[in-house]
Structure 1
Amino acid sequence: MPHTFDADVVAAVLRHMNGDHTDDNLLIARAFAPASLSPIADAVMTGFDGEAGLWRVIRADGAEDELRVPWPGGAIAERPAVRREIVALYDAACARLGVEPRPHA
């Protein structure tokens, strides 16, 4: 069973991702969604656990689906690992889509 993070941790991460990283959400969704979900017009991070991040993807036709993307480094159980894994997903998404990643602070 995957690790479950406290609700306040999940809320803080989602607020950050959906407030400051909307383009990253879309990039990750476009890179990791199966072809059946394309084209994706928008994506919102809706949750995560110790095994994966969850996004609601909105296709160009308005249909919505859920996308679960496993963490690149494997299962996690600590709050700092969430950031590390989201950054790793972003970098992997950039590589898949041929996008130059921005530097990480």
Structure 2
Amino acid sequence: MSAANPFPPEVVAAVMRHMNTDHADDCRVICQGLGSQPTATAAAMSGMDADAMEFLAVVDGVEVPVRVPFSSRIAERRQIRAEAARMYREACAALGRTPRPEAS
């Protein structure tokens, strides 16, 4: 852990596993709508710190790093879910899509 990343590696790994297993499509939508990669065909979370989530998005068959900032610096694990849901909802809005009801 560092000042920039209050989350130990096992927490980051658990969040990545959850996002990439249960929310792979959300990762793609976040990269398309908030990560300046509108043509991404896939994405996976690759890391995070107190300020942002990081992804590897597939654009034209090439993995591109994408960093999407949180609305504010976070320090507690419970904040991660709220920020991921916010990112998804805002990405859907940016793309003109309706988010899943459970993401509200």
**TM-score, with length taken from structure 1:** 0.88
Number of the residue aligned with 1:89: 87
1:102 and 1:23 map into 2 onto residues whose CA distance is 11
Number of the residue aligned with 1:16: 18
Matched, 1:79 2:81: no
Query: Pairwise mapping of residues 24-43 of structure 1 onto structure 2 (< 5 A)?
Result: 24-34=26-36, 37-43=37-43
Shift of 1:4: 3.1
Number of the residue aligned with 2:63: 64
2:87 and 2:45 map into 1 onto residues whose CA distance is 13
CA displacement 1:23-77 (0-9 Å, x = unmatched):
100100101233xx452111110111100000001112x12211000002x0000
1:3 and 1:48 map into 2 onto residues whose CA distance is 8
Q: Which runs of 5+ in 1 are unaligned?
A: none
Identical aligned residues as a percent: 41
Amino acid at match of 1:16: H
2:38 and 2:26 map into 1 onto residues whose CA distance is 17
**1:3–1:76: 8 Å Cα contact kept in structure 2?**
no
Number of the residue aligned with 1:52: 52
Number of the residue aligned with 1:2: 4
Pairs aligned (count): 101
1:86 and 1:79 map into 2 onto residues whose CA distance is 12
